[in-house]
Amino acid sequence: MTVKVNDLQKGSRVRLRNGWEADLLDKPKGENIRKARVYGAFTETGSIYVDTIAEAFMNGEWVEVVLDADQRAFSEMKKQFGL
C-alpha cells in the first residue's frame, strides 16, 4: 500500500529517510516543501523537503509515501546540486 505525499493531511505522523519521525503542520498541494515538527536529536519545527518523507503512519501501520512526477523531477534536480 502507498500514499501520495499530496494526500497527507495536517497532523500526519511521518517517518523521514534518516529514521526520524515528524508531524506535518501544513497542507499545501503540489509543493516541494512542507512545514513539520521533527523529533530527532532535538525537537525542532521548520521546513522539510517532501522527498525526505519515506513513510506515513495511517490506520495503525506505516505506509510508503510516493511523489508525483513534478516532485520526483525536483528531487532529481536537488541531487545534481548535492542537496
What does the pLDDT look like over 53-81, one tens digit per residue? 999 999 999 999 999 999 999 999 999 99
One-character DSSP codes across 3-33? EEGGGPPTT-EEEETTS-EEEE----SS-SE
Which neighbouring-strand residues pair with 53? 16
Q: What is the pLDDT of residue 29?
A: 79
Least confident range from 11-15, 34-38, 75-79: namely 75-79
Confidence of residue 83 (pLDDT cuts 50, 70, 90): confident
Domains in the chain with CATH codes? 2-80 (2.30.30)
